[in-house]
Amino acid sequence: MELMKKETFKKTTAALLVATAVSSGIFSVKTTEVKASTGAQTALKKLDKARAADKKTKNAFRKAKALKQDNAINPKVPKAVLDRDDSAFDKAKADKIKADQNLVKAETQYSIAEAKRTAVLRGKKSIRFVTINKKGKLVKNSRKAKPGVKYHVNRLFKMGKRSYVEIKLGRKNLLLNAKYVEFK
pTM over 0.85: no
The answer to whether the CB of 39 falls within 8 A of the CB of 109 is no
Q: List Cβ neighbours of 67 (8 Å cut-off, separation of 6 or more).
A: 85, 88, 89
Rounded Cα gap, residues 169 and 20, in angstroms = 32
Question: Residue 22 pLDDT more than 50?
Answer: no
Comparing 146 with 172, which gets the higher pLDDT? Answer: 172
Per residue, the 3-state secondary structure of 59-81, as one string, reads HHHHHHHHHHHHHHHCCCCCHHH
Q: Measuring CA to CA, which residue among 158, 146, 154, 150 is closest to residue 171?
A: 154
Question: Residue 56 pLDDT more than 90?
Answer: yes
Q: What is the structure's pLDDT at 71? A: 84
Give the bridge partners for 132, in sequence order.
147, 181
If pLDDT is split at 50, 70 and 90, which confidence band does 9 have? very low
Rounded Cα gap, residues 179 and 161, in angstroms = 12
Rounded Cα gap, residues 158 and 173, in angstroms = 17
Q: What is the structure's pLDDT at 136? A: 53
Q: What is the structure's pLDDT at 104? A: 85
Over residues 86-126, the pLDDT tens digits come to: 899 999 999 999 998 898 888 888 877 777 777 666 655 44
Output the CA–CA distances (angstroms, integers) from residue 86 to 47, 72, 78, 80, 90, in the order listed. 31, 11, 12, 10, 6
The answer to whether the CB of 130 falls within 8 A of the CB of 153 is yes
Over residues 31-42, mean pLDDT: 72
Give the bridge partners for 150, in sequence order.
131
Percentage with pLDDT > 70 across the chain: 59
- Average of per-residue pLDDT values in the chain: 72
If pLDDT is split at 50, 70 and 90, which confidence band does 1 have? very low
